[in-house]
Amino acid sequence: MIATVRSARRLEGAITVPGDKSISHRALILGAVASGESRVRGLSAGADVQSTASCLGALGVEIDGSIVRGRGMGGLRASSGPLDCGNSGTTMRLLAGLLAAQGFSSELIGDESLSRRPMDRVVGPLKQMGANAAWPPLRVGGGTGLHGIEYHPPVPSAQVKSAVLLAGLYAEGKTSVIETVKTRDHTELMLEAMGATVTVDGLTVELERTASLAPLDIDVPGDFSAAAFWLVAAGIVSESKVKLVGVGVNPTRTALADLLTTAGFHLARSKPRFEAREPVADLHVRPAGDLRPLRIDGGMAAEMIDELPVLAVAATQIAGTSVISGAGELRMKESDRVAAMEAGLNAMGADVVAQADGWIIKGPRRLEGARVDSVGDHRVAMALAVAALIADGKTEIEGAECVEISYPAFFDHLEYLA
Ligand code: S3P
């Protein structure tokens, strides 16, 4: 599908972004092994979370609307065929952790993009825990008991941390993960809410073997990474006034908001509340004042990895040179996001130079509508759509149907706000 997006004079209105993708995956996966029925309202409607739900279905878990019928820690059954994780790295890596600890063996497969992504980062620690694990193709489980380890991930990754913790639920002794940067902590928070013995001390998470997990009852907060597109869009389209209702503001997710505020964006929060230990608030955005160039390095890049494509769009409108570095992981996502954003933004007249681990972006540049390629990556498609809102004329985004992965209503929301 080609999406046509025209320049907007203003963005105005209130929207509810989709349920958080990371929390949705975890609620389904942990709900699947809880003792009893979990209620998970407001799940992400995206295709990635649907991939997790259908893999769990193949493992014998019934998911009926917002109800997940937990089968208990030992209740999963072997799937009759490979588990198809679609485009979803989170599905593949988190399920690899859970399934490595099962007495049966599982094979996990994915689409062309997912098949190219590195899985040795989960296979390594799972093998250290005594699991059967191999890649490629990714096969886990069917061995004997696991034992806890102390794991120091070489690359900051919440997916790897979560895979080790999920396996650790079944492992003899203690499992700990010691990070260099604190990545999103939804797994730890949810495990705690479900009664597991998990302790967090700075960058260290420690977990004991767990005999049973209590079911969940949760309204999934809105996805901050989806809200990020509107935070930037309403900040750079003049005269805008946008409210985002019920967004998850877990501090391990909101580094982009802090950075945008420091750079001169006008962001505000109201109605702070908690949902199953996750902080939630309404967010308000108005156009930015004078903006200062962005400087991002390793730790910061890891904290806002999913938001960097749209941050690159913001950088094109800031006077001076913005340097986004330490983001080599962007090249390992659903696409090589460093290359895809460089190509898309430069086709629109921006001055973006890709580096091995980020971009150097000179601004401000007046963008022009162009034909650009999403390369089948949902976050690239949405970031380029934000750029299109400030570009003269019309922009055509190829492969725009990929927004289905995380934000099926994205273009409806864009039309409503513009
Ligand atoms: C996610 C972790 C991040 C992120 C992805 C979702 C998660 O990946 O990019 O969109 O839900 O744990 P990495 O763990 O590979 O950094």
Residue 302 Cβ contacting ligand 1 at under 6 Å: no
Residue 322 Cβ contacting ligand 1 at under 6 Å: no
Q: In terms of Cα–Cα distance, which of 283, 282, 333, 284 is closest to 309?
A: 333
135's tokens = 């890649």
Give the active site residues: 306
Residue 158 Cβ contacting ligand 1 at under 6 Å: yes
Residue 91 Cβ contacting ligand 1 at under 6 Å: no
Cα(203) to centroid of ligand 1, in Å?
17
Cis-peptide, bond into residue 137, ω within 30° of zero: yes
- The CATH number given to 21-214 is 3.65.10.10
**Smallest CA separation from ligand 1 atom 11, residue:** 22
8's tokens = 């907007």
Cα(367) to centroid of ligand 1, in Å?
30
**Smallest CA separation from ligand 1 atom 4, residue:** 306
Cα(199) to centroid of ligand 1, in Å?
21
Separation between Cα atoms, residue 137 and residue 155, nearest integer Å: 22
Cα(157) to centroid of ligand 1, in Å?
6
Q: Could you say which architecture CATH assigns to the domain 2-19+221-417?
A: Alpha-beta prism (3.65)
Cβ neighbours of residue 74 closer than 8 Å, sequence gap 6 or more: none
Please give the C-alpha separations between residue 228 and each of 39, 135, 318, 386, in angstroms, as whole numbers. Answer: 27, 34, 17, 10
Extended strands (E) in 163-253: 174-178, 198-201, 204-208, 217-219, 241-248
From first to last of its 418 residues, the chain has per-residue pLDDT tens of 999 999 999 999 999 999 999 999 999 999 999 999 999 999 999 999 999 999 999 999 999 999 999 999 999 999 999 999 999 999 999 999 999 999 999 999 999 999 999 999 999 999 999 999 999 999 999 999 999 999 999 999 999 999 999 999 999 999 999 999 999 999 999 999 999 999 999 999 999 999 999 999 999 999 999 999 999 999 999 999 999 999 999 999 999 999 999 999 999 999 999 998 999 999 999 999 899 999 999 899 999 999 999 999 999 999 999 999 999 999 999 999 999 999 999 999 999 999 999 999 999 999 999 999 999 999 999 999 999 999 999 999 999 999 999 999 999 999 999 9
Phi, psi (degrees; rounded to nearest 5) at 383 = -65, -40
CA 283 to chain centre: 19
Domain boundaries, the chain: 2-19+221-417, 21-214
Give the ranges where 207-331 is alpha helix by DSSP (H): 224-236, 255-263, 298-303, 308-315
Q: Which of 119, 177, 305 to mutate to test the pocket of ligand 1 (most atoms within 8 A of CB)?
A: 305
Residue 22 Cβ contacting ligand 1 at under 6 Å: yes
CA 307 to chain centre: 9
Cβ neighbours of residue 246 closer than 8 Å, sequence gap 6 or more: 16, 221, 222, 280, 282
Ligand 1 atom with minimal separation from the 302 CA: 16
Separation between Cα atoms, residue 387 and residue 244, nearest integer Å: 19
